[in-house]
A and B are shown apart, each in its own frame.
Chain A
Amino acid sequence: MNGVTVSAKVNGDAVQYVCPADESLLDVLRNRLNLTGVKEGCGTGDCGACSITLDGRLVCSCLVLGAEAEGREIGTVEGLSEGGKLHPLQEEFIEKAALQCGICTPGFLVAAKSLLERNPNPTEEEIRYALAGNLCRCTGYDKIVRAVQSAAKIMRRGKKVAR
């Protein structure tokens, strides 16, 4: 195998892997690092099921080569919970029944977290635009939007308490 050796950080942990030069970061995460939260829907950047953050930017991991990740910081859905406690977005997705089959959910969670970091109080329209790169064939999106609104509210309240 004409492999590339890569050192990166995934959800804060240092990782090292060897992959073929043309292997996607999506396949690296799933098959080499066993992070199967990241899903392959389309493989062409249309559905957002493979959404991750790369150095803090939301991207589709199917459109990144594993070889490109040298020295980069990767964030996946596995990094959302802290010490076994679910992230407010995860709690609210469950509470508001914002999923059915669940394939799109990790991508929606990562994309929604990225949105709320940039904009803690988005309007419904802003949420729908920000999540336009994530496709869901079960929910009709409405419950997902409600869950994000509800999580945003909880997170804003949490910040006030923390202060």
Chain B
Amino acid sequence: MRFESPTTTKAAATLLASESGIAHVLAGGTDLLVRMKMGAIEPDLIVDIKRIESLRTLKVAAAGVQIGAAVPAVRLSESEKLRNLWPGVVEAANLIGSDQIQGRCTVVGNLCNASPAADSVPALIAAGAKALVVGPKGKRRVAVEKVVLGPGRTSLARDEFIEAVVLPARTGKSADAYLRFTPRTEMDIAVVSAAINLTLSRGIVQSAKVVLGAVAPTAVVVPAAAKALIGSKLDDAALDKMVAACRAACNPIDDKRGTIEYRTKVAGVMARRAALIAYERAGGSK
């Protein structure tokens, strides 16, 4: 195995494109090194992207946020400005693993690992995040919900990698929230999760995005659930309608961590609570 640590995205793209064997990008390594240790992958080349200055950059402004692929999750919670603008994205990213993992893991890595239970992914999708993809032919921008195709599978070509995710401008009274259900409070993987992003005007929901995690092979966007909230002040009728839409969108697996029935029911519970949190954060009152 070779180890390379280029200092530009171009050099990284060239290394990946010219490798005939198995090449992997290393950012936080909290998934990659585990898979290497387990013998699930045997890379011929590891490209450490943490020496690329632009990828270590976290830009936070109301006009937009850019989270570089080498920014560890802990840096998101250290930014008070980001916590105020995108509390749901930050709380989702900070649920990944322990403090030790937070010091290394990245949201781009969480996305590319393509786990159905990834915590930051539903929150990024609810936020309307875009991934900046780099490849030998240049750069492209793709909605985060188009990146994951299924467990462990992404739409990235083998010589492409994501250099950052960007969050759109924040306007008006907006806020997001992310909740997950786990049997323990820490060091666990979501059984069900829900991310909700709302924009209000005079307490009435103007726009909404509702995304569920761990209830299907990929995170699920639920437009019918968002529609149920729009035009409401999150009264019980609107919430009930949203919950029903969430449950109808679930297609979970049945395993020791949760049955199909349980996951489907709890998806509605998580979505209802997350919606109320996002509503309150956006300045709505009931």
Hey, which bits of chain A sit against chain B, CB under 8 A? 2, 4, 20-22, 24, 43-46, 48, 51, 54, 57-60, 62-65, 67-68, 70, 111, 114-115, 129-130, 132-134
- Chain A residues whose CB sits within 8 angstroms of the CB of B3 once the complex forms: 4, 21-22, 65, 67
B5 lies within 8 A of A44 (CB): no
23 CB contacts below 8 A, A to B, read: A2-B2, A21-B1, A22-B46, A43-B37, A45-B33, A45-B98, A48-B98, A57-B72, A59-B104, A62-B37, A63-B28, A63-B29, A63-B33, A63-B34, A64-B29, A65-B46, A65-B48, A68-B29, A68-B48, A111-B100, A130-B99, A132-B98, A132-B185
Q: Output the nearest chain B residue to A107 by Cβ-Cβ distance.
A: B100
Query: Once the chains are docked, how many angstroms separate the CA of A45 from the CA of B34?
Result: 8
B187 close to A (CB within 8 Å): yes
B26 close to A (CB within 8 Å): yes
* Min CB gap B78→A, angstroms: 10
B101 close to A (CB within 8 Å): yes
* Min CB gap A38→B, angstroms: 12
B215 close to A (CB within 8 Å): no
Contact of B99 among A46, A65, A111 (CB under 8 A): A111
Contact of A21 among B46, B104, B187 (CB under 8 A): B46
B interface residue count range (under 10 / 10 to 19 / 20 to 34 / 35 or more)? 20 to 34
Binary CB contact string for chain B from 180 to 213 against chain A (1 if under 8 A, 0 otherwise): 0000011100000000000000000000000000
Query: Once the chains are docked, how many angstroms separate the CA of A11 from the CA of B186?
Result: 30
Query: Once the chains are docked, how many angstroms separate the CA of A161 from the CA of B156?
Result: 58
Which 8 residue pairs of A and B lie closest in terms of their CB atoms, listed nearest first?
A133-B98, A132-B186, A21-B3, A57-B103, A67-B3, A133-B100, A60-B100, A59-B103
- Chain B residues whose CB sits within 8 angstroms of the CB of A20 once the complex forms: 1
A22 lies within 8 A of B100 (CB): no
Contact of B34 among A44, A67, A70 (CB under 8 A): A44
Q: Known contacts A129-B186, A132-B98, A132-B187; is A65 also within 8 Å of B103 by CB?
A: no
* Min CB gap A162→B, angstroms: 27
- Chain B residues whose CB sits within 8 angstroms of the CB of A24 once the complex forms: 33, 37
- Chain A residues whose CB sits within 8 angstroms of the CB of B103 once the complex forms: 54, 57-59
Query: Once the chains are docked, how many angstroms separate the CA of A58 from the CA of B98?
Result: 10
- Chain B residues whose CB sits within 8 angstroms of the CB of A63 once the complex forms: 28-30, 33-34, 101, 104
Contact of A44 among B37, B48, B72, B104 (CB under 8 A): B37
Q: Known contacts A57-B74, A59-B104; is A45 also within 8 Å of B26 by CB?
A: no
B97 close to A (CB within 8 Å): yes
Binary CB contact string for chain B from 14 to 35 against chain A (1 if under 8 A, 0 otherwise): 0000000000001011100110
Given contact pairs A45-B101, A60-B101, A68-B48, enumerate 14 new A-B contacts (beta carbons under 8 Å).
Answer: A24-B37, A44-B37, A45-B33, A45-B98, A48-B100, A54-B103, A62-B33, A63-B30, A67-B3, A67-B48, A70-B5, A115-B99, A132-B185, A133-B187
Binary CB contact string for chain B from 34 to 54 against chain A (1 if under 8 A, 0 otherwise): 101110000100101010000
Query: Once the chains are docked, how many angstroms separate the CA of A107 from the CA of B286?
Result: 47
- Chain A residues whose CB sits within 8 angstroms of the CB of B74 once the complex forms: 57
Q: Which of B28, B48, B100 has the most CB of A within 10 A?
A: B100
Contact of A133 among B29, B46, B48, B99 (CB under 8 A): B99
